[in-house]
Chains A and B, each alone.
Chain A
Amino acid sequence: MNESRKYIIRIAIVLIGLIFLIKLFFIQVMNESYRLAAENNIVQKIIEYPYRGLIHDRNNNLIAYNEPIYDLMLVPKELQNIDTLLFCQTFEISKEEFIAKYKKSRKYSYIKPSIFIEQISNKTFALVQDKMVQFSGFYTQARTVRGYNTKGLANILGYTGEVSNRFLRRDTTKYYQSGDFIGITGLEKSYEESLRGRRGVKFKMVNVRGIEKGAFKDGKLDTLSIPGDNLKLSIDAELQKYAEELMEGKIGSVVAIEPSTGEILTFISSPSYDPEMLSGKNFGKNFTTLSKDSLKPLFNRPLMAMYPPGSIFKIIQGLIALEEGVIGPYDQLFCDGSLIGDHAPPGNYNMRKAIMLSSNNYFYKVFRRIINQNTENSQFKEAPIGLERWKKNVLKFGLGRPLGIDLPNERAGLVPGPEDYNRTYGRGRWKFSNITSLSIGQGELLMNPIQMANLAAIMANRGHYFIPHIVKGVGSTSYLDSRFVEKVETGISPEHFPVIIDGMEDAVVGNTARAIIPGIAVCGKTGTAQNPHGEDHSVFMAFAPKENPKIAISVFVENAGWGGRAAASISSLLMEKYITGEVMRSWIESYVKKGEFIY
């Protein structure tokens, strides 16, 4: 009776076994996600932030380093019975902040750690370190921010900060992750890829309570963090510091270049700020203060400020005229101040004397010859052709376009061409008389200080330059981008330089006594850029020594009046300091330091 039922039961047993095996086959063999889920459970990824590359000056003085800071991490699950009041006092936060932070942490994950307080300074950490045991669930994670050995250089160095979510969304390299630091401006930005190094990752095993149970897969997947490459700057920290002292209390910029290489020795934007202000925890607060400052310390003047070059532009006019053959080096022109206002006395001028005394009328005439070369029968037709040719020549001096320095945010300046005047006056409706102010570096013409310093370097090199740059070497190699070692020619024959350079030397000796350095032949040119808003800007560009020049410099002091005063004094002091190693003329030094030029 019911014998068949025993088979039903046995078949059921076999069927159950088969169902189990099929189901198990699907979750064990066919489905990888469980393996991943198991790893996710136990593996805690700990990021080792790399050391950012150090920054040294040209003499291997350390400028920027890494300072340890600590992030306070919280694992909400392990938080129990802590003295909240003591905690709030220790970390100087309010109870409300504590609750808000806790809720945020709790929302992120109950068992995974998240940042509770960011960027606790080394100092604060030392004070709270021994209290940490009382706060179960909290631990600190070390990382670094920038520390500096200098109070200057901020405009070169730039600053770093945590990558923004907006950046992360647009980042195509896929390198960055939330929490990473990235260079935001300055060298930190332009050399970010060398400086950042590579993140390391450690995988640790934790149990369900988040307690560490050793390395995952014996550390086979761990990677060490690789420190970033160090940068060696061409900046001379000592000269830089001296320049900062001289520029204190003044608005303006100083750029000094080694003409034979294009290396930037000094780079000042004044006023500046202490780079420490934008490093680490107080970034937000200080950034707001700095960006609201009416003197614009965040504005990188050598690259971003654009001024009419004034009289220093006469050098370019002279060289172009000689190259075009519209005047001979010793041709005399009678100038009496009838064409344009002039500081130079009436009389006969040749090129050397015109440079020395900065004759406006001489260069007015020269510029007219450049523009009107009698190729057309109408001045209206001639002017655009002449101006176009002139512009082409001017651009070769590195004007009207960014030079390509290794810092971000370099601006182009402006060299006007026919199209600009066509726009203003209409095609064929303007001639030389509409553009006369260009002859003496005024009008629409704009240069930034780095271009002025580069012009000094061109003069020092008698016709060529190297793109100015601020980094001499990256990492252990003295790597340089090829664009920084290629000679850039201006197209002016070397034979046209001596007469102008002689004029520059005469200008210093005869006309700018403060710029004279005993025993060293200085060639310079003052400029006074007209400022419709107040006192004129003081400009001076120079190089020294005359033979075998070591340094080319441009100094721009806003609202300081005639260029022979503030700007020339500062230039000569810096050149003296750089060439001889010390400053003998203390009276000039005190004159510069006492001068108040901010109105």
Chain B
Amino acid sequence: MNRDSILNRLDWVTILLYATLVVMGWINIYAAVYDEEITKSLINTSSNAGKQLLWIGTAIVLIVGVMTLDYKFYDNFAYLIFGVMILLLVAVLGTGTIVAGSKSWFQIGGFRLQPSEFTKFAAVLALARYLSPGNIKIDMPRTQLIAAAIIGIPVLLVMLQGDLGSAMVFGSLFIVLFREGISPNYFILVLGVVAVFVLSLLVSQTVIFIGTGVIAILVIGLSTRNYKRILVTLAAVVAIVGMVKSLDFIMSNVLKPHQKNRVISLINPEADPLGTGWNVTQSKIAIGSGGMFGKGFLQGTQTKFDFVPEQSTDFIFCTLGEEHGWIGSIIVIALFSTLLIRVSIIAERQKSRFARVYGYGVLSILLFHYTVNIAMTIGLFPVIGIPLPFFSYGGSSLWSFTILLFILLKLDAHRMQVMTR
């Protein structure tokens, strides 16, 4: 074999992790939709397991395609790809099909495509392209504004489709900006806002106000003559009071009823276990009933008897937890953690800034999906309909994650050429 062949330069560890996750995902999809009474052949495309085989096959074709294109193509055409995807997002708003309350699907024959899935890698490419020139300084407000726009436009369009979950995925790209050196104050700010939001759902407003006041007085008292810090503290107090006061407004006027219910049921799933808390309750029962070693392959009752909704897509982790127990969960979580760290290692070893930013983009998207998906199935996060990468059933998501990951591998395979150029 030629020493310069791309096969020698590919990161096989990542490919192995990818393949393992895809195969395990398929096994769990098969188990989730398995019905003793209807034994269909594996490649019967009327079941999700059969269809997923089709998606996996086409994903391999896509991988070959991604690998065949010149590595410079992604750099050069990043804006174009992003632009096309934005147009598709606009188009789907006009002509799309509504599935599960979100107008984010193109119906093509018997199959449905979700352009927002593909916008993910497009947005990562665009962001990487924008940040790659040497003269771009991340701490310049102008840079931050444009970067925010690249992230913000798809967020806005996907939110208009009614798919809050996918919109939030793009928000994860701020991890890229963090790696590129943006001030951590932004993150502290965001975390602060989230903390206040959650707190005000959990405890009464009066408690928060008193708590804020006490902390503010302590901080001001300790920072003698540091007028700047006192000013910041006072501003924070005003901001917190304002946020808490506006929360009622957000809950009743901004969030849709089902989104509001998901938030409430996260805080207190027992409030309405048969209604809004149903998904989380049943999902936790499924996973929790798996015990240490699980009930065994095809033995899950929660998933098989349809107690868990969306058991082959967003709630695929339930099947794993139920049938393979804590041991199965350890394996999958370990695989994801290893993959994510591997991606970060690949990103770090890139010589070009484009490839590195792209690598962290991949990391951000995968990390967000993995974290939020599993967190929602075990009741740590509100139910947001986003898939578990490589694992969940679905052509659009498998394709988009495959393209996302393999562009990085393609770029990685050519990292030395960047150096020699």
- Residues on A lying within 8 angstroms of B by beta carbon are 1-2, 5-6, 9-10, 13-14, 16-17, 19-21, 23-25, 27-29, 31, 33-35, 37-39, 41-42, 110, 205-209, 213-214
Contact = CB atoms under 8 A, between A and B. Distances in A.
Contact of B333 (A17, A29, A214): A17
Given A2-B181, A28-B329, 13 more contacts: A6-B179, A9-B363, A13-B344, A16-B337, A16-B371, A17-B333, A24-B329, A29-B292, A35-B289, A41-B305, A42-B302, A110-B274, A208-B305
Nearest to B347: A6
Given A1-B181, A21-B329, A24-B329, A34 B306 contact: no
Which of A1, A25, A27, A39 is the most central at the interface, judged by chain B CB atoms within 10 Å of its CB? A27
Interface residues of B, number: 46
A33 B289 CA distance: 8
Contacts of A6: 179, 344, 348
B226 to A, nearest CB: 27
Given A2-B179, A6-B348, A42-B305, A28 B285 contact: no
Contact of A27 (B36, B175, B287): B287
A271 B289 CA distance: 63
25 contacts: A6-B179, A9-B175, A9-B178, A16-B370, A17-B334, A17-B337, A20-B333, A20-B374, A23-B378, A23-B380, A24-B287, A27-B284, A28-B288, A28-B290, A28-B292, A28-B329, A34-B285, A35-B289, A37-B285, A37-B288, A38-B301, A41-B285, A207-B305, A208-B307, A213-B305
Given A23-B380, A34-B289, A38-B286, A28 B371 contact: no
Nearest to A42: B301
Contacts of B378: 20, 23-24, 27
B325 interface: yes
A17 B329 CA distance: 10
Interface string B314-346: 000000011001100110011011001100100
B367 interface: yes
The 3 closest A-B pairs by CB, nearest first: A34-B288, A207-B305, A38-B289
B180 interface: yes
B285 to A, nearest CB: 5
Contact of B340 (A2, A13, A25, A209): A13
B305 A205 contact: yes
Nearest to A19: B380
B83 interface: no
Interface in B347-400: 348, 360, 363, 367, 370-371, 374-375, 378, 380
A24 B290 CA distance: 10
Interface string B286-311: 11111110000000011011110000
Contact of A5 (B178, B307, B380): B178
A320 to B, nearest CB: 77
Contacts of B363: 9
A48 to B, nearest CB: 23
Contacts, number: 113
A391 to B, nearest CB: 70
Which of B285, B292, B367 is the most central at the interface, judged by chain A CB atoms within 10 Å of its CB? B285
Contacts of A20: 329, 333, 374-375, 378
A28 B287 contact: yes
A34 B285 CA distance: 5
Contacts of B360: 9
Contacts of B325: 28
A37 to B, nearest CB: 5
Contacts of A37: 285, 288-289
Interface of B: 36, 175, 178-181, 274, 282, 284-292, 301-302, 304-307, 321-322, 325-326, 329-330, 333-334, 336-337, 340-341, 344, 348, 360, 363, 367, 370-371, 374-375, 378, 380
Nearest to A206: B305
A4 to B, nearest CB: 11
Contacts of B179: 2, 5-6, 9
Contacts of B180: 2
B306 A209 contact: yes
Contacts of A206: 305
B355 to A, nearest CB: 15
Nearest to A17: B337
Contacts of A10: 341, 344
Contacts of B287: 24, 27-28, 34
Nearest to A209: B306
A205 B301 contact: yes
A9 B306 contact: no
Contacts of A31: 288
B349 to A, nearest CB: 11
Contact of B301 (A13, A16, A28, A41): A41
Contacts of A24: 287, 321, 326, 329, 333, 378
B284 A34 contact: yes
Contacts of A209: 306
Contacts of A213: 305
A22 to B, nearest CB: 11
Nearest to A1: B181
Nearest to B370: A16
Which of A10, A16, A28, A39 is the most central at the interface, judged by chain B CB atoms within 10 Å of its CB? A28
Contacts of B288: 27-28, 31, 33-35, 37-38
A13 B341 contact: yes
B344 A9 contact: yes
A110 B282 CA distance: 17
A514 to B, nearest CB: 77
Nearest to A36: B289
A38 B290 CA distance: 9
A35 B344 contact: no
Contacts of B333: 17, 20-21, 24
A208 B301 CA distance: 10
B307 A41 contact: yes
Contacts of B292: 28-29
Given A31-B288, A34-B289, A110-B274, A25 B326 contact: yes
A319 B400 CA distance: 111
Contacts of B344: 6, 9-10, 13
Contacts of A29: 291-292, 326
Contacts of A205: 301, 305
Given A6-B348, A42-B301, A13 B337 contact: yes
A10 B286 CA distance: 30
A35 B302 CA distance: 10
A17 B179 CA distance: 20
Contacts of B285: 34, 37-38, 41
A21 B302 CA distance: 21
Contacts of B330: 21
A572 to B, nearest CB: 73
Nearest to B337: A17
